[in-house]
Amino acid sequence: MSNATPLLAVESLSLERGGRELFQGLSFEVHAGHLFQVEGVNGAGKTSLMRILAGLSRYGYSGEVLRNAPLLYLGHQSGVKGLLSPRENLALHVSGQGSYTDAQIEPALAKVGLYGYEDVPSHALSAGQHRRVNLARLYLSDSPLWLLDEPFTAIDKAGVAQLEALLVTHVEAGGAVVMTSHQALQVRYEVRFLSLLEGVLL
């Protein structure tokens, strides 16, 4: 496994925010089949790390990030437009990673529990349902690398279990996941923990 090109490689990454060092000399590699959970207390810099990994933050840190695969980043904000229905939100999505037909969108929305809500204006949906519209992108995605920042926020218990199953399916199929969450993952799969202070925990 170590000979293969990593999907994502991080080389001595350091970040300072507001005069405080959030992490220093962080190095790790994400290979196909890896499921990473980033650990850290509130304010430890998990979201900052995810934004650097995704390529949204381009300044203010030192170190190298090598991205060798198309990635899908889901951040704190869902990017779901209230004026568009869930179907339109996916069909007209700004990420431009795929062209989805109704035949692809409908099963994806059904899987996140939005069957029957496809054409309801999204502003009529709850916060959790907004998140679910965003999570439907995971079912449509063919990006090998998923960067998920707190994907379980506002999702109910059944939804969390389903999402965990999806993550395992994804990594077993040769994908990789880096996610932040304060909940322990209930999966039958090797979860690698990444501490912002101590690096990869074995």
Least CB distance to another protein at residue 77 (A): 3
Residue 55 engages another protein in binding (rule: CB under 8 A): yes
Rounded Cα distance, 122 and 83, in Å? 6
- Among 10, 15, 33, 100, contact with another protein (rule: CB under 8 A): 100
Residue 177 engages another protein in binding (rule: CB under 8 A): no
Least CB distance to another protein at residue 190 (A): 28
Residue 129 engages another protein in binding (rule: CB under 8 A): no
The helix/strand/coil state of 174 is: coil
Tell me the backbone φ, ψ of residue 62, rounded to 5 degrees.
-120, 155
- Among 53, 80, 109, 171, contact with another protein (rule: CB under 8 A): 80
The sheet with strand 61-67 has its strands ordered as 20-30, 8-17, 61-67
Residue 126 engages another protein in binding (rule: CB under 8 A): no
Mutual angle of helices 157-172 and 127-140, in 10-degree steps: 20
- Count residues binding another protein (CB under 8 A): 33
* Element at 135 (helix H, strand E): helix 127-140
Footprint of another protein (CB under 8 A):
54-60, 70-71, 73, 75-84, 88, 92-100, 104, 140, 142
